[in-house]
Structure 1
Amino acid sequence: MHDRTIQLQLGVGAILAAAFLLLVAIPVWVSSPSNVPNIILSPLFWPWALAGLTGITGLGMVVLALREPVSSEPVISDVDDRTNAWRRLASIAAVMIATMLLMPRIGMVWTSMLVFIVTAFLVGTSHPKTALISAVLVPLVLYAFFAHVAGVAIPQGDFVRLP
């Protein structure tokens, strides 16, 4: 396969994913109360924003792929160990499943901290101290903003509750 073909396929895939999200997934599965005072606080806003950005990114990839000259030489894979690549993919899938299982039990903030740390070390971060500090501070700052400034309830979990 060629670079141009890969980029074109990824772009079309992103556009199709965005269309599915905008036309099917968000309207069917995301509910929002009608009395939300600020559009940014609506549960629909961020899914729409992410779907829109996905579509724009896909469109950009398609345009760039079509502007790129056709190459006759195939792309050589930079993945040396496919078994290890599949293992990493399975690991991140396990992290995602663990996220969904842990969130109702320990809350969004604590789950986010754990997932951040595990993901940082799974991808082999070259800055472990920065990753650990960010894993603790980012969820706490976001919690403080949304819970105390924006007045949005953040899922707390069963064991430890934040003020």
Structure 2
Amino acid sequence: MSFKDLNFRLGLVALAGSAFMTFYAIPNWVFSPSNVGNIVLSPTFWPYTLAGFLALTGLGLLLRPAHREAEPDDHDGGAASWLRLAGLAVIMGLTMIALPRLGMVWTSMLAFLVTALMFRTRYPKTALVCAVLIPLVLYAFFAHVAGVAIPQGDFVRLP
């Protein structure tokens, strides 16, 4: 299968998934009270946001040019791919173990950073900044604006 065919098929699957979420799954399976004053606090806001991002990703895959500068080294399912998959499974397991001990914010920082380093990102400084700032900003929003309790760890507690 060529790279263009793969992008086209993935784009179609992403658009179909977005349409399924938008028109069937969210309206039928996500319940939202009618008296929610702030749209961001509605239980349907984030699922619709994810469906929108999925649709944008699908459109991007459909409209992406067919040429590519560099193919991945092991796109044929070689040993390196399986090692990365096993590494992700280990990271997920360690994340579940660390969540009650370190809290959601600190665990998210570590999981993001270790994942970025495992995939040998071209931008390690940006990955470090994002690993620290994104969980902190999300914590500040949910804890202080939305009033949602974020699980804290046993060692360091955020204000």
State the alpha-carbon separation in 1 of the partners of residues 96 and 28 from structure 2.
22
One-letter code aligned to 2:73: V
One-letter code aligned to 1:38: N
Task: Check 1:158–1:141 CA distance in 2 against 1; reply closer, same or farther (3 A cut).
Answer: closer
Cα RMSD, aligned residues only: 3.2
- Show the 5 A alignment for 1:1-150: 1-22=1-22, 23-24=24-25, 27-28=28-29, 30-62=30-62, 64=63, 78-80=72-74, 82-148=78-144, 150=145
**CA positional deviation for 1:60:** 4.8
TM-score calculated relative to the size of structure 1? 0.71
- Which has the higher relative contact order, 1 or 2, with Cα contacts under 8 A spaced 6 or more apart? 1
One-letter code aligned to 1:82: G
Match of 1:35, SS? Answer: coil
Task: Check 1:103–1:85 CA distance in 2 against 1; reply closer, same or farther (3 A cut).
Answer: same
**CA positional deviation for 1:84:** 0.6
Q: For structure 2, which runs of at least 5 residues remain unmatched after alignment?
A: none
* Corresponding residue pairs, total: 152
One-letter code aligned to 1:24: A
**CA positional deviation for 1:97:** 4.4
**CA positional deviation for 1:48:** 0.8
Q: For structure 1, which runs of at least 5 residues remain unmatched after alignment?
A: 69-75
Kept in 1, the 8 Å contact 2:100–2:152? The answer is yes
Once the two structures are superposed, what CA deviation does each residue of 1:78-106 show, in whole Å capped at 9, x if it has no partner? 33481011211232243334444543553
TM-score calculated relative to the size of structure 2? 0.72
